[in-house]
Amino acid sequence: MRVAVLLPNHLNQCFDYAVPMDVHLGLGDHVQVSFNGREMIGVVWEAPTAVDESRKLKPILSQLTHVPPMSNAMREFIEWVAWYTAAPLGAALRMALPVKLTEPLRQRRKVTNNKKTPPPSLAALDADQQHAADQLCASVSNGFSTTLLDGVTGSGKTEVYFAAVASAISKGKQALILLPEIALSIQWLERFEARFGFMPEVWHSNVSPAKKRDTYLKLARGEASVVVGARSALFLPFHTLGIIVVDEEHDGSYKQEDGVMYHARDMAVIRAKKENAPIILASATPSVESWHNAKQGKYKLISLSKRYSDASMPDIALIDLRRDPPERGEFLSMPIRRAMAEALARGEQSLLFLNRRGYAPLMLCRKCGHRFACTSCSSWMVMHKGAKKLSCHHCGKEERLPEICPSCNTEDCLHACGPGVERIVEEVKHFLPEARIGCLSSDGEENSSLADIIHAMQEGTLDVLVGTQMVAKGHHFEKLSLVGVVDADLGLAGGDLRAMERTYQLLHQISGRAGRAHIKGQALVQTFSPEHPALQALVSDDREKFMQQELQSRKIAHMPPFTRLLAVIIESHREDEVANVARMMASHFPSHAKARLYGPAPAPLYRLRNWFRWRMLVVADRELKLQSLADEWQSRVKLPLNIKCKWDVDPYSFL
């Protein structure tokens, strides 16, 4: 007999192997084979057939009997992902085999915890929440369905979807909860444990390989009931998956930007469909796409509009920086400074948000105008004052902070332009010297430990927290009454199709941090363009209006969700070659009445890690199968081996 085995490599095909006499293989079995002189684990992808005597096939080396076979649903899902993202089948399989399965088994611990009946919910649900929970619980026994759970910050949507998860567990099924990695905090896990009486399996980039392997096998065998994880958890094997929750469904980190370029929220809907299970997309600020699907009746919509236990939404006010400019060389206007001083006097906390790490985004020489740019990327080096370094936030390159200008050799001439969080901390220290200040960003050197700072904020031993978008997620600070947004225009200047939407979501989440418990919150947003629709929608708290405007402008511009996009990025180390190859590819574009090709053109981020980059964008009518078009296009061109070509279906980054 022979079997077709799919291997986790870059290829889009299966390979035939001979089945030894004493081995009985079925679809989905994991096997060890030799491929190009290397031993690899693959999956039986097609049923065994009688062997053709004339062919010499390499034998299957062994069968991994300790790993349950990959289910039909999972194999169909992998095929679908590869097809949808125009990626090789082997690359899609690799995401589903993230652990070393060959190592000998560790002594298995007795699993007792997960079988316990969950204790009753700690916080009783109010009438609205109970109604929402009842609807979700009902969907647990009804096969595939997609529900958008739209709940304002503080409306208790987590407790509501927990009820659905509990219902799935009580039916002996498993649950997958996806969260952006940044939101998967200790606080979240404690909340889960308080509700369910056990800890879920956790899956993200910092979990050790041994622990991951343990989780992988427990899920495949049905010995673990709940996994909470970042986007890659979507490819875990489940024994009987009964529900998927995608929390913060609007979050940009669900899009994987390298390798197989997939969107975990969208693929999760397909996984749920293949597993015939319900899926809940939860958010306080749903994506335009999901909101549109809900309004069209494609998704069920459940809205939670009241804040839990009568905490009220903060008052949001815009500060027009043209009228209230900060002092020269400073970045906080008088209204924010006054409000911060008042909060401090009342013993309450403030939070300042600026989505920029480091001290200043650019350093230049005042004498000769020299600007410090990365030598591998088309970007400026960001100044980090505390760590005395310059760093490129695209490739990670670092240099010591220079004292003289390398171009004109002048001393004391280097000038930091614009603010990063470090500089805001410095400014606050200056005008509120008595305040205790913490800084939260993903830079190690600016804070000892993120957990320590969050803890200090909760304990009330900090008065002011300055942070990047890390502060936007899931933290409850009871004494926080003021949120200041240092530069609301940053995101709006981005110019890509979701810039407005993202800015609105981020600002909404940040301002929702204030006044979560018993103090009435206030949010002050600094901007040079207070008339901007995203900011106006924020102030008037009229999301419906914002969404309608946003959809209308996307319709006029022929953008998603009214069309489909495919981005093609060509990269080469040779600048002369990249342009030629991009033009050659464009000339082979399969022209189609329902698709238009834009470009090729140099990418906005033209050089990245010494790769020169060109981009093309295909805009297609929704009824056109972009994947067939990509297939045909790929078959028409033969690219030189030193060229990288990335296919990005439904792109989120346009850099």
Q: Nearer Cβ to Zn ion, position 411 or 576?
A: 411
Residue the block writes with tokens 């899926």: 279
Asked if 607 is part of the footprint of Zn ion (rule: CB under 5 A), the reply reads no
Judged by beta carbon, residue 592 or residue 609, the one nearer Zn ion is 609
Binding pattern for the stretch 397-436 against Zn ion, x by CB under 5 A and - elsewhere: x-------x-xx----------------------------
Rule CB under 5 A: is residue 363 a binding residue for Zn ion? no
Smallest gap, in angstroms, from Cβ of residue 605 to Zn ion? Answer: 10
Residue 374 is a binding residue for Zn ion (CB under 5 A): yes
Minimum distance between the CB of residue 589 and Zn ion, rounded to whole angstroms?
A: 31
With a CB cutoff of 8 Å and minimum separation 6, the contacts of 253 are 180, 181, 182, 230, 231
- 617's tokens: 């964008």
Q: Which of 91, 168, 365, 626 binds Zn ion (CB under 5 A)?
A: 365
Q: Which stretch binds Zn ion (CB under 5 A): 137-145, 357-365, 592-600, 632-640?
A: 357-365
Minimum distance of Zn ion from residue 400's CB (angstroms)? 16
Decide: is 394 part of the binding site for Zn ion (CB under 5 A).
Answer: yes
Window 451-480: contact mask with Zn ion (x via CB under 5 A) = ------------------------------
Phi and psi at residue 54, to the nearest 5°: -75, -15
Nearer to Zn ion by C-beta: 143 or 369? 369
Q: Which residue has the tokens 């913490």?
A: 438
Closest approach of Zn ion to the CB of residue 381, in Å: 8
For residue 259, is it left (φ>0), alpha (ψ between -120 and 50) or beta? left
Is the separation of the CB atoms in 628 and 579 below 8 Å? no
In the region spanning residues 285 to 304, those forming contacts with Zn ion, defined by CB under 5 A, are none
Half-sphere exposure of 109 (CA within 13 A, CB side): 9
Q: How far apart are CB 407 and Zn ion at their closest, in Å? A: 4
In the structure encoding, which two tokens stand for residue 488, read together? 């609301």
State the CB neighbour count (10 A cutoff) for residue 107. Answer: 4
CB crowding 364-375: b at 16 or more within 10 Å, else e: bbebeebebebe
Which one of the spans 188-196, 391-399, 493-501, 502-510 is the region binding Zn ion (CB under 5 A)?
391-399
Per CB under 5 A, the list member of 368, 404, 451, 493 interacting with Zn ion is 368
By beta-carbon proximity to Zn ion, the closer residue of 165 and 405 is 405
Q: How far apart are CA 405 and CA 537, in angstroms?
A: 45
* Cβ partners under 8 Å of residue 134, min gap 6: none
What lies within 8 Å, CB to CB, of 649 at 6+ separation is: 84, 85, 86, 261, 564, 565, 566, 626, 627, 630
- Nearer CB in complex with Zn ion: 272/392: 392
β-bridge mates for residue 352, sequence order = 466, 484
Q: First-to-last CA distance in the chain?
A: 50
Mention every residue, 6+ apart, whose C-beta is less than 8 A from residue 259.
87, 91, 95
C-beta of 382: minimal distance to Zn ion in Å?
10
| CB-nearer residue toward Zn ion: 596 or 609 | 609
- In angstroms, give the least distance from the CB of 405 to Zn ion: 3
Segment 106-125, which members bind Zn ion (CB under 5 A)?
none
Closest by CA position to 421, among listed 332, 481, 503: 332
Shortest gap between Cβ of 258 and Zn ion (angstroms)?
16
CB of 376 to Zn ion, least distance (A): 5
Amino acid at 319: I
User: How far apart (Å, rounded) are the C-alpha atoms in residues 427 and 435?
Assistant: 12
**Binds Zn ion (CB under 5 A): choice among 204, 239, 295, 367:** 367
Q: What size, in residues, is the chain?
A: 655
**Smaller CB separation from Zn ion, 239 or 367:** 367
C-alpha dihedral sign at 123, 124, 130, 135: positive
Binding track over 129-148 against Zn ion, x by CB under 5 A: --------------------
Spatial neighbors of 296 by CB under 8 A, at least 6 apart, are none
Q: Which of 135, 376, 549, 653 binds Zn ion (CB under 5 A)?
A: 376
Nearest distance from C-beta of residue 398 to Zn ion, angstroms? 10
User: Which CB sits closer to Zn ion, 240 or 376?
Assistant: 376
* Residues 72-101 close enough to bind Zn ion by CB under 5 A: none
Number of Cβ atoms within 10 Å of the Cβ of 171: 12
The number of residues that bind Zn ion (CB under 5 A) is 14
Nearer to Zn ion, 303 or 376 (CB): 376
Name which position in 392, 470, 567, 595 contacts Zn ion (CB under 5 A). Answer: 392
Q: How far is the CB of 379 from Zn ion (least distance, A)?
A: 6
Minimum distance from residue 607 beta carbon to Zn ion (Å): 8
For residue 544, what are the contacts with CB-CB under 8 A and spacing of at least 6? none
Q: How far is the CB of 412 from Zn ion (least distance, A)?
A: 11
Q: Does 395 bind Zn ion (CB under 5 A)?
A: yes
Q: Which is nearer to Zn ion, 236 or 377 (CB)?
A: 377
Q: Percent helix, strand, coil in the chain (nearest 5)?
A: 30, 25, 40
Contact residues: Zn ion, CB under 5 A: 365, 367-368, 370, 374, 376-377, 392, 394-395, 397, 405, 407-408
